[in-house]
Amino acid sequence: MTGQQGAPRRGAPSPIVSIIWRLIALALIDAVAIVFAYAFFGGGLTLAAIVLLVITAVINVVFLVPGLYPLRWISPGLMLLVLMVVYPVLYTVYIAFTNYNGVDHLLSKDQVVARLESTLYTPEETANLAWRAYRSPEGQFLIWLTQVDGTTQLADPLSGIEQVQLDDARFGAIDPEDGLPATIGVYTKLGRLESFRYLTALSNLVITDETAQLRIISIDRATLGIARFSYDPVRDVVYDDQTDTEYFASGGYFVDAQGNRAPAPGFVDFVGLRNFERALSDPRISSVFFSVLGWTIAFSFLSVVLTFAVGLALALVFNDDKLPLKGLFRTLAIIPYTIPGFISALVWAGLLNPNFGPINGFLSDFVGMNPQWFSDGNLAKMAVLIVNTWLGYPYMMIVSLGALQSIPSDLYEAAEIDGASPWQRFRTITFPLLLVALAPLLIGSFAFNFNNFTLIELLTEGRPPQLGVISPAGQTDILISYSFRVAFAAGRGQDYAFAAALGVFIFLIVAAITIVNFRLSRRLENMI
């Protein structure tokens, strides 16, 4: 029996087969990772490519080193955690410290430099060049150029543009009519009529080298564009050869000594705490930011209070053994919880429609009121709280029912013997014990509502707008929906860096409130 302990189980794959399958799986993972990393590098997402390659390397090590066998079971989850949580968080923090936006700071610095270096200008001496075409038997072309000062150049689609002399060994006999070689290697000079025949092909021919680009304009004219800008990476300076101007990198732009920008978009640059300072100190933005922040905190707090109050009230009623049809009532009360939140939000948007909604129809017929739920700021906020209470009370009712049933009944019996009223029993026994049990859930509900983007976007879209502000913020926008509008709203949106800074603010605020509330709940538990 002892000698058989190390024997493989019947039907289990042999170690060699297991290793082969493992290597095949790792090869497939590596191949996919390399393809995506190559795409990331090509798209300028260097950090994402590096993170992906590091994760892939760690997976290979984990599955090849026997001592790391326990990590194999959690490595897929860790990989997804890094890709879906850690990397987005780090990338958001990085963007928050840059000037990245979708207007004039979208490209990287290297991309802007490449765009400048590809810009051409046409000097006066190369604006009207005489040209003659040479054609090979295979249909390839060479272009002979003659400048105003008599300088001659030869343009080859394969080798570029070079200055030549008539005594070049490649040239055949000189044609006395125009003084040009009749042949250049296997290429034969075309007459004027023959050139006209191939003019369309010649006009589409673009011959480029490192510093110039040739274009055929007409049967009598060609132009030679010269590279206008050159970049010195040592000095970090772009030089304009046309105007003899140097442009220095400053504030995400290339600017000259007078502050004039080069004819190119800005580039993504590190700006430190500027985006955070805008939210806190720029009067055009700080007023909007603090108003949105205040409403976000109020919305989250009131949502927790209202949903908990309604849920607890129903739980107290449904927990009474004397209530008839208690199971039916409980089932009906959790119906809002069974419907997806985005569907309920859209249904409520229709119910509250000022013109066609049944709620306004009822109020108009019986009360004589027609509330403008989505155009009045206070009413819009009230509508958001009403709908969120409808969506959230079933959850609070369910957890409150569970907590109520866990409270020992002998506490209530002792309180009754002491002559405590129902309100006293609730205030001294039920509510404190409920808070101890439900405090973490209330904190989680606060954090959820702090980022409740779905409700705001589907019910009001942040409306009504705040008037007289430069930010695309509405009166019912919370921080998460405000940051979405800053990043993606038409017109004044696409400020991705500022939206990322708002995301960092959201994270810090929620983290701070969560830490404080956990400490308070711990104190409450110790007091009880």
pLDDT for the residue 472 = 83
pLDDT for the residue 477 = 94
Q: Which three-class secondary structure state does DSSP give residue 97?
A: coil
Domains 13-96 and 278-527 share a fold: no
What is the band of 421 on the pLDDT scale with cuts at 50, 70, 90?
Answer: confident
326 vs 521, which has greater pLDDT? 326
Domain 13-96 has CATH 1.20.58: yes
Judge contact between 312 and 396, C-beta under 8 A. yes
pLDDT for the residue 102 = 81
Give the Cα separation of 16 and 432 in Å (integer). Answer: 62
Give the Cα separation of 155 and 336 in Å (integer). Answer: 76
Judged by average pLDDT, the poorest of 18-27, 32-41, 64-73, 252-261 is 64-73
Judge contact between 178 and 192, C-beta under 8 A. no
pLDDT exceeds 70 at position 265: yes
pLDDT exceeds 90 at position 254: yes
| pLDDT, tens digit, 9 for 90 and up, residues 353-378 | 988 899 989 888 888 888 999 999 99
Give the Cα separation of 237 and 255 in Å (integer). Answer: 9
Judged by average pLDDT, the poorest of 111-115, 267-271, 312-316, 320-324 is 320-324
> For residue 262, how many C-alpha atoms fall within 13 Å in the half-sphere facing its CB?
34
Closest CA to 403 of 448, 428, 439: 439
Mean pLDDT of the region 72-76: 77
pLDDT exceeds 50 at position 2: no
Judged by average pLDDT, the poorest of 80-84, 224-228, 430-434, 524-528 is 524-528
pLDDT exceeds 50 at position 1: no
pLDDT exceeds 80 at position 470: no
pLDDT exceeds 90 at position 454: yes
pLDDT exceeds 60 at position 528: no
322 vs 286, which has greater pLDDT? 286
163 vs 516, which has greater pLDDT? 163
Element (H, E) at 187: strand 187-189
Mean pLDDT of the region 186-213: 88
CA 390 vs. chain centroid, Å, equals 32
Q: What's the CATH architecture for 120-227?
A: Beta Barrel (2.40)
Judge contact between 207 and 222, C-beta under 8 A. no
| pLDDT, tens digit, 9 for 90 and up, residues 372-391 | 999 999 999 999 999 999 99
**Is the previous residue joined to 408 through a cis bond, with omega within 30 degrees of 0?**
no
Mean pLDDT of the region 87-103: 89
% of the chain with per-residue pLDDT over 70: 95
Q: Which residue ranges make up each domain of the chain?
A: 13-96, 120-227, 278-527
pLDDT for the residue 521 = 65
What is the band of 11 on the pLDDT scale with cuts at 50, 70, 90?
Answer: low
469 vs 355, which has greater pLDDT? 355
Give the Cα separation of 309 and 431 in Å (integer). Answer: 11
pLDDT for the residue 419 = 85
What is the band of 64 on the pLDDT scale with cuts at 50, 70, 90?
Answer: confident
Which residue intervals of 184-282 are DSSP H helices? 192-197, 199-203, 274-281
* CA quadruple 306, 312, 316, 317: dihedral, nearest 10: 50
pLDDT exceeds 60 at position 9: no
| pLDDT, tens digit, 9 for 90 and up, residues 232-250 | 999 999 999 989 999 999 9
What is the band of 296 on the pLDDT scale with cuts at 50, 70, 90?
Answer: very high
For the chain, the C-alpha Rg in angstroms (whole number) is 37
pLDDT exceeds 80 at position 23: yes
What is the band of 519 on the pLDDT scale with cuts at 50, 70, 90?
Answer: confident
pLDDT exceeds 80 at position 518: no
pLDDT for the residue 285 = 87
% of the chain with per-residue pLDDT over 90: 39
pLDDT exceeds 90 at position 302: yes
pLDDT for the residue 378 = 94
Mean pLDDT of the chain: 87
Give the Cα separation of 375 and 345 in Å (integer). Answer: 17
Judged by average pLDDT, the poorest of 26-40, 68-82, 86-100, 465-479 is 68-82
Closest CA to 496 of 100, 103, 104: 100
Correct CATH for 278-527 of 3.40.50.1980, 1.10.510.10, 1.10.3720.10, 1.10.357.10: 1.10.3720.10
DSSP calls for 436-487: HHHHHHHHHHHHHHHT-HHHHHHHTTTPSBPTT-SS--BTT--HHHHHHHHH
Judge contact between 142 and 187, C-beta under 8 A. yes
What is the band of 256 on the pLDDT scale with cuts at 50, 70, 90?
Answer: very high
Which residue intervals of 210-325 are DSSP H helices? 274-281, 283-318
Closest CA to 25 of 58, 60, 51: 60
pLDDT exceeds 70 at position 14: no
pLDDT for the residue 500 = 93
The 3-state secondary structure of 296-334 reads HHHHHHHHHHHHHHHHHHHHHHHCCCCCCCHHHHHHHHC
